[in-house]
Amino acid sequence: MMNTDKDIIRKQVSEFYTASVNKGCGCSCGCTPTLQKGVAVKTAGYNADEISALPEDAVVNSFGCGNPLAFSNVKEGQTVLDLGSGAGIDLLIAARKVGPSGRVIGVDMTDDMISRARSNIAAAGYENIEVRKGIIENLPVEDASVDWVISNCVINLSPEKNKVFSEIARVLKPGGQISISDIVVDDLPEWVRESAVLYGACVAGAISEKEYIGGLIAAGLQSVEVTDRFVYGGDQLEALIESEIPQETSSCCCSSEKIAAEVSKTLKGKIWSARFSGKK
Ligand SMILES: C[S@@+](CC[C@H](N)C(=O)[O-])C[C@H]1O[C@@H](n2cnc3c(N)ncnc32)[C@H](O)[C@@H]1O
């Protein structure tokens, strides 16, 4: 793939998430329940206490597929970096864990996500979180400067995953750790791989657990393993995909439902969210 192709993919992904974070409920076929249904699936890895402490906007606009901070042993005073921080759900949870003496840095390439995260951070009143604009393939973060790299449903979207894995190894302090939730698959039909909408919805760009672990080890990380899995059933997959896909106009009502229904018929039980751990 030429560099321009990779930049085009990143631009399409960024436009996709600009539309997703700004989507309203303009359609007449159940938009609100659909959104709520999708949010329930995406936030299934969080406990009720975590969710209730957050601004509603951060929860509604979560586009993750797990809870990378669950059981992560992040300690007070540490520095956490979130790759593809979106509207900020995991930034806020990390900020609570590291406390006022710790730091949390989010990196995202999408302006509307960055401003949404900043307003959610302000609403929650945290002063130890900073959101930087940049791409995860070339992180605007110093070498050996963070204790934890976390990420939630983002690396599958990168057209240059090995670069992301190298960047993770570069920015971690010696002994620093990862906790990454992401979508993985064993294999996908060609029509799914070729769909730009399904790429944006975290399906078409997904790789296997073996490739993921191999990429992290090749980048220099150790003890890399999958510590948790959530295999999507048909309804869950449908809800997840549907809630990621933006409705461009109210007149395209139900198009995301149709795509999501078709994909979930093909992929139910064959696609899952995995949590990867490891250290430098
Ligand atoms: C599926 S959303 C997940 C957002 C957030 N992690 C969450 O759990 O809600 C993907 C996010 O990653 C960002 N993103 C995708 N590819 C990226 C890249 N190559 N560099 C920086 N940000 C990226 C998008 O802008 C979007 O905010």
CA 84 to ligand 1 centroid distance, Å: 4
CA 114 to ligand 1 centroid distance, Å: 10
DSSP 177-208: EEEEEEEEES---HHHHT-HHHHHTTSTT-B-
Q: Which two tokens stand for residue 45?
A: 């890895």
Do 235 and 261 touch, CB atoms closer than 8 A?
no
Residues lining ligand 1, Cβ inside 6 A:
10, 13-14, 17, 62-64, 84-87, 89-90, 108-110, 113, 135-137, 152-154, 157-158, 202
Q: What is the pLDDT of residue 240?
A: 83
What's the domain count of the chain?
A: 1
CA 61 to ligand 1 centroid distance, Å: 12
53, with CB counted inside 10 A (0-12, 13-18, 19+), is exposed
CA 150 to ligand 1 centroid distance, Å: 12
CA 44 to ligand 1 centroid distance, Å: 19
CA 83 to ligand 1 centroid distance, Å: 7
3-state secondary structure 81-121: EEECCCCCHHHHHHHHHHCCCCEEEEEECCHHHHHHHHHHH
Do 192 and 203 touch, CB atoms closer than 8 A?
yes
Do 172 and 280 touch, CB atoms closer than 8 A?
yes
Distance CA 150, CA 276 (A): 10
Nearest alpha carbon, ligand 1 atom 23: 84
Residues in contact with 263: Cβ distance below 8 Å, sequence separation at least 6, in sequence order: 192, 198, 203, 237, 238, 241
Q: What is the pLDDT of residue 24?
A: 59
Strand partners, 167: none
Among 157, 203, 273, the mutation site with the greatest number of ligand 1 atoms within 8 A of its Cβ is 157
Q: What is the pLDDT of residue 32?
A: 43
Q: Which two tokens stand for residue 245?
A: 């896909």
Quote the DSSP letter at residue 144: T
Domain containing 173 — which CATH number?
A: 3.40.50.150
Do 92 and 122 touch, CB atoms closer than 8 A?
no
Nearest alpha carbon, ligand 1 atom 14: 84
Kindly give the parts of the chain with pLDDT less than 70.
1-2, 24-43, 247-254
pTM above 0.85, yes or no: yes
| Host domain of residue 167 | 3-279
Q: What is the pLDDT of residue 241?
A: 84
